[in-house]
Chains A and B, each alone.
Chain A
Amino acid sequence: MLRFVVRRLALLVPILLGLSILLFLWVRALPGGPAEALLGERATPEAVERVRRLYGLDRPWYEQYFTWVGNLLRGDLGVSTRTQHPVLEELLRTFPATMELALTAMIFAVGVGIPLGYFAARRHGSWLDHLSVAGSLFGITIPVFFLGYMLKFVFAEKLGILPTDGRQDPLLDVVHPTGFYVLDGLVSGNLEAFADAFQHLILPGIALGTIPLAIVVRITRASVLDVLHEDYVRTAEAKGLKPATIRGRHVLRNAMLPIITIIGLQVGLLLGGAVLTETVFAFPGFGKFIADSIMARDYAVLQGFILFTAVVFVLVNLLVDIAYGLIDPRVRVA
């Protein structure tokens, strides 16, 4: 098992190296060059020259690349031209919000999706099955931001039972030791703050979780259907095992493999979708920060945040591979 993990980790190195080159080239390819992009409208020839010297842009590109990677490894992702704060600081400030939101969306997608897909497969051909197939096809085509609008309009503006935007009621007296607001409410014993932060997560969580939900339902249904017709299930039935044992140990365990892979892949979708969801709900997370940085052409932020997302995505899929290895011994040898 350890060898398997180490080998997977080693595979990360070329991917991350390539990514760093790709993003480095991306910034070099920006229209008018990074100095002009940094200065924006203030780009007089003298100012451009000064910025070029300041950031070492007058040196050869390979030297610049190594400086950039060196800075990267020390956690220096540059400075946001919009807020004048270091990019890493902004990342650490906004990412807990998005993690909270993405986790809510994931819990919604998996918590509803696996049971729904499972029962649809068990009752293959029933109305529940047809409904889940139709619903999941419909679900993957709904634009996240449109769903967000509609949820916001119905549940926040018309019915008024959930908050319209933000992460927490600004009038609440709260402390944030961890940056995860729901957790903060719990550890500081402030149950009102906990409930409030949680309520703020419901609508954006559902909006963000709907596409993953549709995908999880589909995969679970297909995977359980496949496994139900396997010989080992028939054998288990024939030797008189209890139905609960067959379902738990034979059907679900074997059906879980493709489901876990798909769940890992959803992380990329969630981080991309967070940009749209957080914009709709004015949720001050990582995605909203990216959206605001697009308008300001804040390239250091875009570069740093996208690189960070890629690293998170790759690491999550590594964890998925490891989970795979734990569930299925065949994977470890392959």
Chain B
Amino acid sequence: MSLSQAEVVLAGDSGDGAGGSLGRDAWRRLRRNPVAIAGAILVFLFVAVALLAPWLAPFPPDKPVGQVTPTSIPGPSAEHWFGLDDLGRDEFTRILWGARWSLVIGVVSLLLGMTGGLLLGLLAGAFGGVVDTVVMRFVDMVLAIPGLLFAIGVAAMLGSGLEAVMIAIAVVNVPIFARLLRGQMLAQRQSDYVLAATSVGVRRRRIVLGHILPNSLTPVIVQGTLTLATAIVDAAGLAFLGLSSNDPSIPEWGRMLADTQRYLSSAPLLAVFPGLAIIFAALGFTLLGESLREALDPKYRR
């Protein structure tokens, strides 16, 4: 009996790769976790709707398709599943298109913020010393401003609009990613494999980029998934405050919610649909991120 077979027998598991690499192990636990499955389904639906909105939507998103007056806004019907909005547009169509905008805002702001944060974190973590001190004091300073207020300030400075919202959310996330990556890199620097690489004469740049960085990225992936959720909710908040695009043809969930405020008593469902859409999109990424965190945490490894 070879050693690997012995291990499988000793592990007493069904033999589907128990005791494999951390990645494979995490994947196995992820697939068995109902929370992860629920999150993945929600995320898949959200992304599918966002990509396929033009083909799924039964009506044009920016044109009135029925008669409405401020006192009578038709609710859900066989033709218009979610009813019409205050300007007579099909609400279901606008919710579908809204997924597209939320996804774009979420992904772009995440990529911008993560890139900025990772660069800063990499600088601090790789060089240490003065560079580290300067970067981390900057990070502390920015983190002293509550996130949403900071985003409001940045978006207002940029003069509102979709780009302003994306940049504002990205800027808020920069210090979070910077601090995370730096902390991870500092922890990895102490590890044995770095010592081993150093002792066999691997160059510093290769140690940082080829060994320390890849091993520090796990929590960054988790944080990125969770950040997508907060980015979607925060973008809706900024839109609610009037800081997003003021182009009425752009169906954006936060703005749709804000626009229906006046009709809350006559057509409350117009607030419910975009609200639920935001919750489900954010919930999908939260569930996925949380179960990823658990799956990748060696503490839970058996």
Contacts and interface: CB of A to CB of B under 8 A. Distances in A.
Interface in B46-83: none
Contacts of A131: none
A143 interface: yes
Interface in A293-314: 294-295, 297, 299, 302-303, 305-306, 309-310, 313-314
Interface in B226-242: 229, 233, 236-237, 240-242
Contacts of B156: 294, 297, 299, 302
Contacts of A294: 152, 156, 241-243
Contacts of B95: none
Contact of B264 (A157, A302, A309): A157
Contact of B137 (A14, A153, A291): A14
B138 to A, nearest CB: 7
A62 to B, nearest CB: 20
Contact of B279 (A141, A152, A268, A313): A141
B290 interface: yes
A15 B283 contact: no
Contacts of B144: 15, 19, 310, 313-314
B287 A137 contact: yes
B271 A149 contact: yes
B150 A306 contact: yes
A280 B257 CA distance: 11
Interface string A8-26: 0000001100110010001
Interface of B: 137-138, 140-142, 144-150, 152-153, 156-159, 229, 233, 236-237, 240-243, 254, 257-258, 261, 264-265, 268, 271-272, 274-275, 278-279, 282-283, 286-287, 290
A30 B237 contact: no
Contacts of B233: 141, 143
Contacts of B287: 137
Contacts of B275: 143, 146, 149-150
26 contacts: A15-B141, A18-B138, A19-B144, A31-B158, A31-B159, A141-B278, A143-B233, A143-B254, A143-B279, A145-B240, A145-B258, A152-B264, A157-B265, A268-B147, A269-B147, A272-B148, A275-B148, A276-B237, A291-B241, A294-B242, A299-B156, A305-B149, A306-B145, A309-B145, A309-B146, A314-B144
Contacts of B142: 22
Given A146-B271, A275-B241, A294-B152, A137 B145 contact: no
Nearest to A311: B144
Given A19-B141, A294-B242, A137 B237 contact: no
A34 to B, nearest CB: 11
B229 A141 contact: yes
A290 B286 contact: no
A272 B279 contact: no
Nearest to B287: A137
